[in-house]
Amino acid sequence: MAKGTSKSGEITINDIAKELNIAASTVSRALNNSTKISEATKQKVRKVAEELGYEINLVASSLSKNKTNLIGVVIPNINSQFFAHALSGIQEEAKAAGYNVIISQTNESYEQEVEVMKVMNSARVDGLIVSLTMETKSTDHFNALVRKSVPIVMFDRVNFSVPGPKIVVDNYEASFKATQHLIGNGCKRIAHLAGNLSCKVFEDRAEGFKEALNKNILPLLPQFLLACDLNEKDTREAMKLWMSLDERPDGIVVASASSGLMIASIARSYGVTIPGDLAIISLGNERCNELMIPSISAVDMPGSEMGKAAAINLIETIKTGHIEDRIILKPIQLLMRNSTFKMA
């Protein structure tokens, strides 16, 4: 067998070359199915490669081609259903196109996001898919990648000061429709549990909420628009405040699915009936929303769809080299369930 086995103990194209008494470059071309290699040679090369158990070393290939076939994914966290679905969609599309996916969470921390960009830079990813943290305001940490023309696709939590395709939903519309839906079902005193308003997603949701009240000549009552981090603690506090009021809200538009579920649960502990005393609709849908009793109305944000679109657009951008500032708007869906039908 091949005697010139490489240092690392791996089979290389040199081993195949020696075995067949041909040049390594010929082996490389054969394995890459170059048109200028005879079928006969390709056959022989493939056979020996198979026999020797050769698997291409992508590290060497990447260095040589100055292209890693690696897509970096940077998201706030993997645990949320929305991002998990997005990641899953990204991975499927990437795999189909022959790309590998390298992933890092930022845990909603701007500082971590900055660090992660350095790692992705060093890993020489061919492109990046990002959903920003709630904290992120500056996008200077993308400059290094942008300068090198590394394609960057942002989805959901986007910032338009970074060039490249954006995959978004219309959060204003989502919130507007949700609020409208509550109003249509007789709610008069509607509250909104918002996320961090410096994050565009949550700002738009708050705006849609306010505009719907406006259009329907309903007042925005004091303390009925509360912005927070949408974690359990903040959600609990918001509810505590609302439940302490003489005139409690009779409907709540919640800026996230997980907070919506919590609110439903917390409401029960206050002896509040849903939807009788309080209607609830959340911006973002999880499977749980459907299974709960009562089921929780929601506006569905298509995580998997958005992830797939992000990957497809990124790969196209990588291939063409043209970084376009297009905006892809994914449709949302109002899911009317039992938590909002006061009349039912």
Q: Which of 7, 36, 233, 322 binds a copy of itself (CB under 8 A)?
A: 7
Residue 122 binds to a copy of itself (criterion: CB under 8 A): yes
Q: One-letter amino acid identity for 271?
A: G
Question: Whole-number minimum distance, CB 123 to a copy of itself, in Å?
Answer: 5
Question: Whole-number minimum distance, CB 92 to a copy of itself, in Å?
Answer: 7
Dist. CA 242–CA 245, nearest whole Å: 5
Residue 185 binds to a copy of itself (criterion: CB under 8 A): no
Q: What are the helix (H) ranges across 35-169?
A: 39-52, 58-65, 81-96, 110-122, 143-147
Q: Which of 97, 292, 334, 336 binds a copy of itself (CB under 8 A)?
A: 292
Closest CB to DNA among residues 127, 249? 127
Question: Which residues within the stretch 8-37 sit at the binding site for a copy of itself (CB under 8 A)?
Answer: 8-10
- Indicate which of a copy of itself, DNA, none lies near residue 109 (CB less than 5 to 8 Å, by partner kind): none
Give the Cα-Cα-Cα angle 91, 97, 102 (nearest 5 degrees).
Answer: 40
Residue 104 binds to a copy of itself (criterion: CB under 8 A): yes
Closest CB to DNA among residues 69, 88? 69
Specify the residue for token string 């995580």.
303
Q: Which of 36, 40, 50, 53 binds a copy of itself (CB under 8 A)?
A: 53
Question: Whole-number minimum distance, CB 62 to a copy of itself, in Å?
Answer: 5
Question: Whole-number minimum distance, CB 326 to a copy of itself, in Å?
Answer: 25
Question: Whole-number minimum distance, CB 152 to DNA, in Å?
Answer: 21
Residue 10 binds to DNA (criterion: CB under 7 A): yes
Residue 287 binds to a copy of itself (criterion: CB under 8 A): yes
Q: Which of 22, 42, 46, 92 binds a copy of itself (CB under 8 A)?
A: 92
Residue 91 binds to a copy of itself (criterion: CB under 8 A): yes
From the number of C-beta atoms within 10 Å of its C-beta (0-12, 13-18, 19+), residue 300 rates as buried
Q: Please identify, among the stretches 1-9, 84-92, 264-272, 317-325, the one whose residues bind DNA according to the rule CB under 7 A.
A: 1-9
Contact call for residues 126 and 96 (beta carbons, < 8 A): no
Question: Whole-number minimum distance, CB 120 to DNA, in Å?
Answer: 15
Question: Which residues within the stretch 300-339 sit at the binding site for a copy of itself (CB under 8 A)?
Answer: none
Dist. CA 153–CA 308, nearest whole Å: 11
Q: Which of 4, 51, 95, 333 binds a copy of itself (CB under 8 A)?
A: 95
C-alpha neighbours within 13 Å on the C-beta side of residue 178: 42
Query: What is the sign, positive or negative, of the torsion defined by CA atoms of 227, 229, 230, 234?
Result: negative
Contact call for residues 76 and 110 (beta carbons, < 8 A): no
The length of the chain in residues reads 344
Contact call for residues 26 and 37 (beta carbons, < 8 A): yes
Contact call for residues 70 and 102 (beta carbons, < 8 A): yes
Per-residue binding string, DNA, 11-50, x by CB under 7 A, is -xxx------xxxxxx-xxxxx-xxxxx-xx---------
Contact call for residues 157 and 133 (beta carbons, < 8 A): yes
Question: Whole-number minimum distance, CB 41 to DNA, in Å?
Answer: 3
Residue 60 binds to a copy of itself (criterion: CB under 8 A): yes
Question: Which residues, 6+ apart, have CB-to-CB distance to 178 below 8 Å?
Answer: 208, 209, 253, 281, 283, 297, 299, 334
φ and ψ of 339, to 5 deg: -75, 0
Nearest to 299 by CA among 335, 257, 258, 268: 335
Binding site for DNA (CB under 7 A): 6-8, 10, 12-14, 21-26, 28-32, 34-38, 40-41, 54, 56-57, 60-61, 63-66
